């Protein structure tokens, strides 16, 4: 939530991770995500975890089918990354971090 500083206007990655309960897979996905963000987007990201078991009505809005799904709404374009995010390369490309770097 801490948006920051300098240059090309602060670009903040708004990330949403959809999970369904605390499964091993969702825990792994969240851990992976946090790790990549700390490495590449230090202080430039927000992660919101949505548990669909608690809020099932939110699934429709972001067209969630697969679990876990990571949705990047900002910066554009919208991207969805599904799976446990174990492949760092793909996640970084999907989040446009590679390009940003």
Partner 1 sequence: MSLEPSESRKMPRTLPKSNTGIRGLDEITAGGLPSGRPTLICGEAGSGKTLFSMEFLVHGATQYDEPGVFVAFEEKAEELAINVASLGFDLNQLQRDGLIRIDHVHIERSEIEETGEYNLDGLFIRLAYAIDSIGAKRVVLDTIESLFAGLTNQAVLRAELRRLFEWLKEKQVTTIITGEKGEASLTRQGLEEYVSDCVILLDHRVENKISTRILRIVKYRGSVHGTNEYPFLIDEDGISVLPVTSLQLNHAVSSERLSSGIPALDKMLAGEGFYKASSILVSGTAGTGKTSIAGSFIDKSCKDGVRAIYFAFEESPYQIIRNMRSINIDLQAHIDNGLLMFSASRPTFNGLEMHLLKIMKLIEQFRPNVIVLDPISNLITVGSNSEVKNLLTRLIDFLQSQQITVMFTALALNDNKTEQTDEGVSSLVDVWILVRDIESNGERNRGLYVMKSRGMKHSNQVREFVITDEGLKLVEVFLGPEGVLTGSARETQQLLEKTSEAIRDHALSRKDREIERKRLVLESKIATLKEEFESLQEELNKSYVEDDLKKSIMENNRQELTRKRDDLL
The sign of the dihedral angle between the CA atoms of 6, 72, 97, 86 is positive
Of positions 2, 48, 63, 98, contacts partner 1 by CB under 8 A: 63
Site for partner 1 in 30-59 (CB under 8 A): 52-53, 56-57, 59
CA distance 96 to 101: 9
76 is a site residue for partner 1 (CB under 8 A):
no
In whole angstroms, the minimum distance from the beta carbon of 31 to partner 1 comes to 12
The structure tokens listed for 4 are: 């920051």
12 is a site residue for partner 1 (CB under 8 A):
no
Instruction: Name which of 57, 68, 66 is nearest 24 in CA terms.
Output: 68
Run of H or E residues at 40: helix 24-40
60 is a site residue for partner 1 (CB under 8 A):
yes
Q: Which residues bind partner 1 (CB under 8 A)?
A: 18, 20, 25, 29, 52-53, 56-57, 59-60, 63-69, 77-87, 90-91, 93-94
């Amino acid at each position: 939530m801490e948006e920051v500083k300098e240059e090309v206007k602060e670009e903040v990655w708004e990330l949403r991770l959809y999970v369904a309960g605390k499964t091993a897979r969702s825990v792994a996905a969240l851990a992976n995500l946090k790790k990549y963000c700390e490495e590449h987007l230090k202080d430039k990201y927000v992660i919101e975890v949505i548990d669909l078991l608690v809020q099932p009505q939110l699934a429709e809005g972001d067209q969630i089918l697969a679990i876990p799904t990571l949705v990047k709404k900002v910066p554009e374009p919208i991207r969805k990354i599904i799976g446990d995010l174990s492949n760092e390369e793909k996640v970084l490309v999907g989040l446009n971090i590679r390009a940003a770097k």
